[in-house]
Chains A and B, each alone.
Chain A
Amino acid sequence: MDLFSHSWLPLMYQYGFGLLIFGGGLFTVFRAYGGNQFWKEHKIWMQVLVWGFIYIFSIHLFMTLSALNDAPKMYLLILALYVLNVGILVRNVK
Chain B
Amino acid sequence: MNTLIPTTGLFWGILTCYVFFVLGAGLFFARNNKSTEDFFFGGRRFSWWLIAMSMLATGVGSHSFAKYASKGFEYGFSSTMTYMNDWFFMPLLLFGWIPIIYYMKVNSIPEYFQRRFNSTVRNLSTFTMLLYLVGYIGIGLLALGSLLQPILGWEINTIIIVVAVISGIYVSLGGQTAIIFTDFLQGIILLFAGLLIFGLGIAYLGGFDSFWNNLSIANKLPLADFNSPPDFNFAGIFWQDGVVGSVGFAFMNQAVIMRFLAARSVVHARRATIMNVLVFLPIGTIAVSNSGWVARAIANTSPDVIAETTNPNGIFTVVAGIVSGSEAIFAFLVAAVVAALMSSLDSQINASAAVAVNDIYTPLSKNPSEKTRLRVSMFTSLLVTFIGIQAAFLFSKYGTIYEAHGAFHSVVTPPMVTVIFLGIFWKRFSSRAAVLTFILGGIFILLGIEYPKTFVQPFSHGIEFVEEKPWSYIRALYNVFACVSIGIIVTLFTKPPKNYDKIKGLTIWTIKDGPQYFKGSDVNKNAGITIQFSGAEVEVTQKDNNEVSLPKNYMDKIKGNKGDLIYISDHRWYLGGLKSTHARLGSVSDNNKVIISKDVSDHAQFNLSEDLIVELEV
**A residues adjacent to B (C-beta < 8 A):** 1, 3, 5-7, 9-11, 13-14, 17-18, 21-22, 25-26, 28-29, 32-34, 42, 45, 48-49, 52-53, 55-56, 59-60, 63-64, 66-68, 70, 72, 82, 85-86, 89, 93-94
A14, A67, A82, A89: the one within 8 Å of B221 (CB): A67
Proximity bits, B215-237, A CB within 8 Å = 1, else 0? 00110111111110000001100
Known: A1-B217, A18-B85. A89 touches B278 (CB 8 A): yes
Chain A residues whose CB sits within 8 angstroms of the CB of B274 once the complex forms = 48, 52, 89, 93
Selecting from B29-37, B62-70, B91-99, B607-615, the interface stretch reads: B91-99
* Nearest CB in chain A to that of B235: its residue: A13
Neighbouring B residues of A26 by C-beta, 8 Å? 91
Q: Are B221 and A7 in contact (CB under 8 A)?
A: yes
The answer on a CB contact under 8 Å between B91 and A49 is yes
B460 smallest CB distance to A (angstroms): 15
What's the Cα separation between A48 and B94 when bound, in Å?
A: 11
CB < 8 Å neighbour of A82 from B94, B235, B270, B282: B282
Interface string of B66-108 (1 = CB under 8 A from A): 0000000000010000001101111110111000000000000
- Compute how far the CA of A59 lies from the CA of B242 in the bound complex, rounded to whole angstroms: 16
Task: Check: B212 CB closer than 8 A to any chain A CB.
Answer: yes
Contacts of A33 in B (CB 8 A): 95, 511-512
A14 touches B238 (CB 8 A): yes
B529 within 8 A of A: no
A85 B278 Cβ-Cβ under 8 A = yes
Complex interface: chain B residues within 8 A of A72 (CB): 208-209, 212
Minimal beta-carbon separation of A39 from chain B (angstroms): 12
Query: Once the chains are docked, how many angstroms separate the CA of A25 from the CA of B422?
Result: 13
Q: How far is the CB of B243 from chain A (nearest CB, A)?
A: 8
Q: A22-B91, A60-B84 are in contact. List 5 more A-B contacts (CB 8 A).
A: A7-B221, A14-B242, A33-B95, A59-B282, A94-B271
A28 to B424, CA, bound (A): 11
CA distance A6 to B234 in the complex (A): 8
Determine how close the nearest CB of chain B comes to the CB of A2; give it in whole angstroms: 11
Query: Given A13-B234, A13-B238, A63-B77, is A22 in contact with B222 using a C-beta cutoff of 8 Å?
Result: no
Q: Please report the C-alpha to C-alpha distance between residue A93 and residue B48 in the assembled complex, in whole angstroms.
A: 11
| Mask: chain B, 279-290; 1 = CB below 8 Å from A; 0 = not | 100100000000
B223, A7: Cβ atoms closer than 8 Å: yes
Contact among B77, B270, B512 for A45, CB-based, below 8 A = B270
CA distance A3 to B242 in the complex (A): 22
* Residues of A close to B275: CB separation below 8 A: 89, 93
Residues of chain A lying within 8 A (CB to CB) of residue B96 = 25, 28-29, 32
Residues of A within 8 A of B209 (CB): 72
Q: Are B92 and A29 in contact (CB under 8 A)?
A: yes
Per-position 1/0 for B259-284, Cβ under 8 A of A: 00000000000110011011100100
Do A29 and B91 contact each other (CB < 8 Å), given the known contacts A6-B225, A13-B226, A66-B220? yes
B221 CB contacts on chain A under 8 angstroms:
3, 6-7, 63-64, 67-68
B94 touches A45 (CB 8 A): yes
**A63-B270 contact, Cβ under 8 Å, with A17-B238, A72-B212:** no
* CB of B22 within 8 Å of the partner chain: no
On B, residues with C-beta under 8 Å from A are: 77, 84-85, 87-92, 94-96, 208-209, 212, 217-218, 220-227, 234-235, 238, 242-243, 270-271, 274-275, 277-279, 282, 425, 508-509, 511-512
Closest to A42 in B: B95
A42 surroundings in chain B (CB, below 8 A): 95
Which of B90, B218, B220, B277 has the most CB atoms of chain A within a 10 A radius of its CB? B90
- A34 partner residues in chain B, CB cutoff 8 A: 512
10 closest residue pairs by CB, A with B: A67-B220, A25-B91, A63-B222, A10-B223, A10-B234, A21-B88, A25-B92, A5-B226, A29-B95, A6-B225
Contact A3 B224 (CB under 8 A): no
Contact of B226 among A9, A17, A21, A93 (CB under 8 A): A9
How distant is B523 from chain A, measured CB to nearest CB, in Å? 13
**Smallest CB gap from B209: residue in A:** A72
User: Known interface pairs A53-B87, A64-B221, A93-B274. Does A6 touch B94 (Cβ–Cβ under 8 Å)?
Assistant: no
Provide the bound-state CA to CA distance between A70 and B219, in Å. Answer: 12
Once the chains are docked, how many angstroms separate the CA of A32 from the CA of B92? Answer: 11
Q: A32, B87: Cβ atoms under 8 Å?
A: no
Give the residues in chain B near A5, CB-CB below 8 Å. 225-227
Task: Decide: A28 and B84 in contact? CB cutoff 8 A.
Answer: no
The answer to whether A49 and B226 touch across the interface, beta carbons within 8 angstroms, is: no
A28 & B88 in contact (Cβ 8 Å cutoff): no
Q: Is the CB of B90 within 8 A of A52?
A: yes
Asked whether A52 and B242 contact (CB < 8 A) given A28-B91, A29-B96, A67-B222, the answer is no
Known: A29-B508, A93-B274. A49 touches B90 (CB 8 A): yes
Cα A33 to Cα B95 with chains together (Å): 9
Q: Shortest CB–CB separation between residue B377 and chain A, in angstroms?
A: 34
Which residues of the other chain, B, contact A86 by a CB distance below 8 angstroms?
279
Q: Which of A25, A55, A63, A82 has the most CB of B within 10 A?
A: A25
Q: Assuming the A-B contacts A17-B238, A45-B94, are A32 and B511 also in contact, with contact meaning beta carbons closer than 8 angstroms in the complex?
A: yes
B88 surroundings in chain A (CB, below 8 A): 17-18, 21-22, 25, 53
Q: Which residues of A contact B224 (CB under 8 A)?
A: 6, 10
Q: From residue A65, how far is it (CB to closest CB) to chain B in Å?
A: 10
* CB of A12 to closest CB in B, whole Å: 10
Residue on A nearest B267 in the bound complex, by CB: A94
* A contact residues around B87 at 8 Å (CB): 18, 22, 52-53, 56
Give the most central of B91, B217, B279: most A CB within 10 Å.
B91
B-side contacts of A82, CB under 8 Å: 282
| Complex contact A68–B227 (CB within 8 A) | no
Chain A residues with Cβ below 8 Å from B270 are 45
Chain B residues with CB below 8 A from A21, complex form = 88-89, 243
> Cβ of B508 and Cβ of A11 under 8 Å apart?
no
Q: How far is the CA of A66 from the CA of B215 in the complex (A)?
A: 13
Q: What is the CB-to-nearest-CB distance from B289 to chain A, in angstroms, rounded to a whole number?
A: 13
Give A85 Cβ to nearest chain B Cβ, in Å.
6
- Given the interface pairs A22-B88, A32-B511, A85-B279, the reply to whether A93 lies near B271 with Cβ below 8 Å is yes
